[in-house]
Amino acid sequence: MEVQLGKELSCPVNILPDKGLNGLKRNMFVENVVAILKERTESNEAKKQALKDFITHAVSKLSDVYQQRKDGFTKQMKSLLDKHEANKECIEGLLGQKQDLLSSSKDIEAFLKKLGDSLIWEIQMKVSHMVMKVRTECAMRCRSLQDGMDELSAPQKVHTEMKKHVEACQSPVDFLKGERRLHREAEKYVEDLMSGIDIRRMGTVRGKSLVKNISQDLKAWRSGRTSFDPMAYRSLDVMLTKTASLVEQGEEDSDSDTCLSWEIHSSSEEEGATGDTKHKA
C-alpha cells in the first residue's frame, strides 16, 4: 500500500517488523480472507463437537419421567392429607373456641346494656328523689318566710288601715266605730315593737338541711377546680349520695314528721340575748 504525494512513499504499517507474509509487504485483503476462513473453520469444529456431545448424551424415556413425576406428586398429596388429618382436631377446637367467644361476647354486651340501663334508671330515681326533697324544703321555707314577712308587715298594715280610717271618717261617730279595734291592734304591735319582735319565730335553718348541705358540697366541689371530666362528676355524685343518705338517716332518727321543714328552736345564747333585749325594753 502506497501513497502518491509527488513521490513514492512506503506505508509505515506495511513495513513494521514481523508483519506481512515472509517479510514482504502486508496484503490486507489476503489477511482478511485468511481470518474469515479461520473463523468459519473454528465455528464448524464447535458445531461438530456440540453435535458429537448431543449424540453421546443419555436421554430418559418420557414414560419413565411421567411415572417418576406422578409418584412424587402422589406422595406430596398424601403428605398434605396426613397433615390435614393431624390438624383436624385442632381446627375443630379452634372453631369451637371462636363460637364460644362470639356467644360470650354477645352475652357480655347484653349484660352491660342491662347494667347501664339499670344504673341510668337508679341515677334518675335518685336525682328525682333529691329534687323532690329540695322542692319540698324550698316550699316549706318559702311558706315560713312568707309568714315571717306577713308578721313583720302587720304593723304597716294596721298603720295603713288607721290612716284610711282617719281620712274616711266624716263624723266623730264614724271615727269611734273603728277606733277601738284599731287601737287594740296598734297597742299590741307597739308593745311588741317596744319589747322586740322574736325573729326566731320565723324559723331557722336546721343543721341537717338538704339544701344547705348540697349547697356546701357544690361550693367545696367547685373550689379550685379548673376541669370538669367524668371523674370530677363521679366525685360529685359520691358527695351528693353521701349527703342524701345522711339526711335520710337524720329523718329516721328524728321524731318530727320531716327533717326538711324549718323548726322554731333557739339556742341558749339567742334566748339570753332576747332576754336582755326584753329586760332593757
Average pLDDT on 25-41 reads 69
C-beta separation of 279 from 196 below 8 A: no
- Res 223 pLDDT > 80: no
- The pLDDT of 143-148, averaged and rounded, is 83
pLDDT digits (tens, 9 = 90+) for 165-197: 777 776 676 666 666 677 777 777 766 665 555
- Residue (of 189, 180, 123) closest to 150 by Cα position: 189
- pLDDT band at 146; cut points 50, 70, 90: confident
Residue 199: band (very low, low, confident or very high) from pLDDT cuts 50, 70, 90: low
Check residue 133 and give its pLDDT: 82
The pLDDT value recorded for residue 258 is 40
Q: 209: how many CB neighbours lie within 10 A of its CB?
A: 20
Give 124's pLDDT tier (boundaries 50, 70, 90).
Answer: confident
Instruction: State percent of the chain over pLDDT 90.
Output: 0
Q: Which triple of cell numbers denotes residue 140?
A: 316549706
For the chain, the structural domain boundaries read: 2-56, 204-264
Cβ 278 vs Cβ 193: under 8 Å: no
Please give the model's pTM, rounded to 2 decimal places. Answer: 0.38
**Cα radius of gyration rounded to whole Å, the chain:** 61
